[in-house]
Amino acid sequence: IKGESERTVGARVVCLFFFLTVDIQPACLGLYCGKTLLFKNGSTEIYGECGVCPRGQRTNAQKYCQPCTESPELYDWLYLGFMAMLPLVLHWFFIEWYSGKKSSSALFQHITALFECTVAALVTLLVSEPVGVLHIRSCRVLMLSDWYTMLYNPSPDYVTTVHCTHEAVYPLYTIVFIYYAFCLVLMMLLRPLLVKKIACGLGKSDRFKSIYAALYFFPILTVLQAVGGGLLYYAFPYIILVLSLVTLAVYMSASEIENCYDLLVRKKRLIVLFSHWLLHAYGIISISRVDKLEQDLPLLALVPTPALFYLFTAKFTEPSRILSEGANGH
């Protein structure tokens, strides 16, 4: 009996010693609060208190802040491509809108806008981590709330708020703002000089209207990304498909295209058609994500379908008659 009691006491002492040596830390509250690594020496890691993760890191399942070391997925690149296309398409639209049929400067302005957006995209990639290469490190997007971490700051006592807002989708959120800033700077440096030199067919008040329009839509795009970036991330493939279908139908009806001959008579119409087909393909690839090539690639055969459907059914609606009646006020 004496031996049994001695063994019991010894076991209790060992358990008490183990309990005292284990570092028991309070659990992290909130969905995006984590503990930052303060010191690492071999297998020894010391973490700080629970709080906001530094830029370029996000919390893992154990509530530790981990660096973003993954490469963006195809869908992430397609999203960034969509956000990069928005200012370019708007540039082209307003250039075409304000250039007029008599102006020969529209083509040069289109090329300049493409050059501005391309250089801005390249510079944005070069200044992002890792700096100096056309490659970025990113954190995986897991759910919609990753885009709105400011809405998930915990309040343990319902009075004090623990601020854990950080970019959980690094760098998909902020890189768009950087790109828009470079686009705006390059436009202000290049476009006014070009327009002043070659836009001779326009009046002085009309020469810079496409630039003035950009000064309006860039803030709108910035607010759109700030407020609806997460929604756009999940919805942009469907937005591309719907808008490209609508704009193609509007353009073909406004141009009174009712058969293949009307479509082939001008090169500009073919360029517009092929541009919309590229957008259709972009939207289809974004939706399918090309997870299975043998199943997803045949979907690209649907790209010409909307244009063919319009041409086959235009004789029943007669867009030219509808436009003429609208112009006459009927």
pLDDT of residue 315: 76
Asked whether the beta carbons of 90 and 224 are under 8 A apart, the reply is no
Residue 135 counted as domain residue: yes
Asked whether the beta carbons of 225 and 232 are under 8 A apart, the reply is yes
pLDDT of residue 18: 38
Phi, psi for 202 (deg, rounded to 5): -110, 155
Asked whether the beta carbons of 33 and 63 are under 8 A apart, the reply is yes
Residue 20 has pLDDT above 70, yes or no: no
Parent domain of 211: 33-255
pLDDT of residue 326: 55
Question: Is residue 177 located within the same domain as residue 248?
Answer: yes
Question: Is residue 244 located within the same domain as residue 284?
Answer: no
What are 42-94's pLDDT values in tens digits?
777 888 888 899 999 999 888 899 999 999 999 999 999 999 999 999 999 89
What are 149-181's pLDDT values in tens digits?
999 988 887 888 888 888 999 999 999 999 999
Higher pLDDT, residue 216 or 320: 216
What are 252-308's pLDDT values in tens digits?
888 878 788 888 888 888 888 899 999 999 999 998 877 676 777 788 888 998 888
DSSP state of 171: T
Residue 306 counted as domain residue: yes
Question: Is residue 89 located within the same domain as residue 142?
Answer: yes
Question: Is residue 112 located within the same domain as residue 192?
Answer: yes
Residue 104 has pLDDT above 90, yes or no: no
Residue 100 has pLDDT above 90, yes or no: no
Q: What number of CA atoms fall less than 13 Å from residue 8's CA on the CB side?
A: 5
DSSP state of 166: -
Higher pLDDT, residue 148 or 317: 148
From 255, 286, 307, give the residue that closes a domain: 255
Residue 126 counted as domain residue: yes
Residue 276 counted as domain residue: yes
Asked whether the beta carbons of 110 and 95 are under 8 A apart, the reply is yes
Closest by CA position to 226, among listed 185, 282, 167: 167
Q: What is the CA radius of gyration of the chain?
A: 29
At 233, is the pLDDT very low, low, confident or very high (cuts 50, 70, 90)? Answer: very high
Q: β-strands 57-59, 65-67: how paired?
A: antiparallel
Question: Is residue 187 located within the same domain as residue 261?
Answer: no
Token code pair at residue 147: 């885009």
The contacts of residue 170 (CB under 8 Å, 6+ apart) are: 55, 56, 57, 58, 68, 137, 138, 139
CA 257 vs. chain centroid, Å, equals: 34
Question: Is residue 176 located within the same domain as residue 310?
Answer: no
pLDDT of residue 262: 81
Token code pair at residue 300: 């690209």
What are 135-157's pLDDT values in tens digits?
899 999 999 999 999 999 888 87
Percent of the chain at pLDDT above 90?
40
pLDDT of residue 7: 52
Token code pair at residue 133: 């290469």
From 205, 227, 255, give the residue that closes a domain: 255
pLDDT of residue 238: 95
Question: Is residue 248 located within the same domain as residue 260?
Answer: no
Angle at which helix 74-99 crosses helix 106-127, to 10 degrees, equals 150
pLDDT of residue 3: 46
From 226, 255, 284, give the residue that closes a domain: 255
Token code pair at residue 236: 């942009």
Higher pLDDT, residue 89 or 39: 89
Residue 38: which H helix or E strand, with range? strand 34-41
Question: Is residue 203 located within the same domain as residue 287?
Answer: no
Percent of the chain at pLDDT above 70?
82
Question: Is residue 193 located within the same domain as residue 298?
Answer: no
Residue 295 counted as domain residue: yes
Q: Which residues pair with 65 in a beta bridge?
A: 59
What's the mean per-residue pLDDT of the chain? Answer: 83
Residue 288 counted as domain residue: yes
Asked whether the beta carbons of 99 and 91 are under 8 A apart, the reply is no
pLDDT of residue 195: 79
Residue 324 counted as domain residue: no
**Alpha-carbon span 62 to 34, nearest angstrom:** 8
Quote the number of domains for the chain. Answer: 2
At 97, is the pLDDT very low, low, confident or very high (cuts 50, 70, 90)? Answer: confident
Question: Is residue 157 located within the same domain as residue 183?
Answer: yes
Question: Is residue 202 located within the same domain as residue 297?
Answer: no
pLDDT of residue 301: 86
pLDDT of residue 202: 53
In the chain, alpha helices (H): 2-21, 74-99, 106-127, 174-198, 209-254, 260-264, 267-288, 293-296, 305-317, 319-327
Question: Is residue 267 located within the same domain as residue 242?
Answer: no
Residue 303 counted as domain residue: yes
